[in-house]
Amino acid sequence: MKIYTGSDHAGFSLKKKLLEKLAQLGQEPLDLGTDQEKSCDYPDFAHAVARKVLETPVTSVTSVTSVTPGLLKTAGLLICGSGIGMSIAANRHAGIRAALCHDPLEARLCREHNDANILVLGARLIGEDMAFEILQVFLNTAFSGGRHINRIRKIELA
């Protein structure tokens, strides 16, 4: 699986820890920044990750006419202080379904029902262990398809 990551200064420390844990599992996420705790603008990183996820034509929902159940082949991970700003910025891109999650249940449901392709975390709201559990659930949960396909198509048409 291809995983693109990005954070602002508030999410930098948590992102580094999650990248280390992913590497221990054999994953090779591509970090698009920031690379320091110096104050920076979260939209820059949200847009960079969203563009990369969209340009890789292997997400499970590829267009409003082609929706298939399954695991993601390309995913994004965004982290800022609350997760709200990153969510808003990433969701400005047609085809991106960025989900701010605070627990594993939300991570499972956003994948099963909404085919979320970017996970957003708030570094000031959850700890490292919970963040990693949420990330693992997100990456390992398949989109269920079925009745949810039509709902996603309606989102894409808005």
User: Of these residues, 47, 80, 101, 148, which one is catalytic?
Assistant: 80
3 state SS for the chain: CEEEEEECHHHHHHHHHHHHHHHHCCCCCEECCCCCCCCCCHHHHHHHHHHHHHHCCCCCEEECCEECCECCCEEEEEEECCCHHHHHHHCCCCCCCEEECCCHHHHHHHHHCCCCCEEEEECCCCCHHHHHHHHHHHHHCCECCCHHHHHHHHHHHC
80 as an active site residue: the answer is yes
| Selected catalytic residue, list 9, 93, 113, 148 | 113
Q: What residues act catalytically?
A: 80, 113
